[in-house]
Amino acid sequence: MGVILAAASCDPAVDIICAPDDVLELFEFKDALFTIGPFSFTRTVFLMFLATAIVVGFFYFGLRKKAVVPGRLQSMAESVVSFVRNDIAIDIIGPEGVKFAPYLLALFSFLIVGNIFEVTPLINFPITSRMAIPAFLALVTWVIFVFVGFKRNGFSYLLDTAWPKSVPIGLRWLVGLIELVSVFFLRPITLAVRLFANLVAGHLMLTLLLASGVVFLSELPTIGLRALIGIPWFVFGLGIYVFEIVVAILQAYIFTLLSAVYIQTSIHPEH
């Protein structure tokens, strides 16, 4: 088990992983477990399949029997479905939101499992802290809301965004430009980066606090009582641990909520 230290110079001979030279290494997939053709199976990919299997298994076994008086698993699965369907899809998008409920449900449950991996013992790695996964999910949302916008409003979807009729003529070009950039570029980017940034920050914070606690305490024989400085770090890390559970659930909710809002603004623009 390697430990990441933020030190610029450290001895790689010890079982400690040094800080990356370039922060972009955080975005890279390294150390493939095995490779099939062009596809490398890294830990992230494996966890991604595990998350998918958990979600599919949960809903398959939860909703297999469809008893009138639901059992434990069935009532859990039903409450997740009804939360996404009623409180997100129908409340935000309106009656037509039922059509998008399956996508939002898949998104929500996959993200919640992927985020909870951050605080799952023995895994401790949120798959959504790799940019590829939030970026791809945001791209899917982007394709859906742009497609729905063009399908519902025809070409005037683009025209109304770039040339909003409700704005005074003098400012119309400026507002149109801002809207155009905001709708088609900033929306998907911020959607992906919000999830990514929150999970990376939480993962790094947990790693640094808990690891520094462990590293200090394990040095107790050599540096004596000064090693006790590790205790407050470890306790602080445990506090952040609870906080990260909330963040994991909240970020999955916000991603789903914003996807629903973006779809809603494409169906009914100018609101």
Partner 1 sequence: MVEELAAPIALVGYGLAAIGPGIGIGIVVGNAIQAMVRQPEMAGVARTTMFLGIAFTEALALIGFVLFFIA
**Residue ranges binding partner 1 (CB under 8 A):** 23-24, 87, 91-92, 186, 189-190, 193-194, 197, 250, 253-254, 257-258, 261
* Shortest separation between residue 261's beta carbon and partner 1, angstroms: 6
Length of the chain: 271
Q: Give CA–CA dist 6/93, Å, rounded.
A: 45
Q: Give CA–CA dist 64/70, Å, rounded.
A: 11
* Shortest separation between residue 197's beta carbon and partner 1, angstroms: 5
* Shortest separation between residue 198's beta carbon and partner 1, angstroms: 10
Q: Give the residue with the Cβ less far from partner 1, 186 or 229.
A: 186
| Helical ranges in the chain per DSSP H | 43-62, 72-82, 101-116, 132-153, 156-162, 169-181, 187-218, 220-223, 230-267
Q: Give the residue with the Cβ less far from partner 1, 108 or 216.
A: 108
* Shortest separation between residue 118's beta carbon and partner 1, angstroms: 18
* Shortest separation between residue 63's beta carbon and partner 1, angstroms: 26
Place of tokens 């299997």: 53
DSSP, residue by residue, 167-191: S-HHHHHHHHHHHHHIIIIIHHHHH
Other residues' Cβ atoms within 10 Å of the Cβ of residue 75: 13
Q: Which tokens in the block code for residue 241?
A: 């641990």
Q: Give CA–CA dist 178/169, Å, rounded.
A: 15
* Shortest separation between residue 165's beta carbon and partner 1, angstroms: 23
Q: Give the residue with the Cβ less far from partner 1, 5 or 197.
A: 197
Q: Give the residue with the Cβ less far from partner 1, 210 or 266.
A: 266
Q: Give the residue with the Cβ less far from partner 1, 144 or 238.
A: 144
Q: Give the residue with the Cβ less far from partner 1, 54 or 261.
A: 261
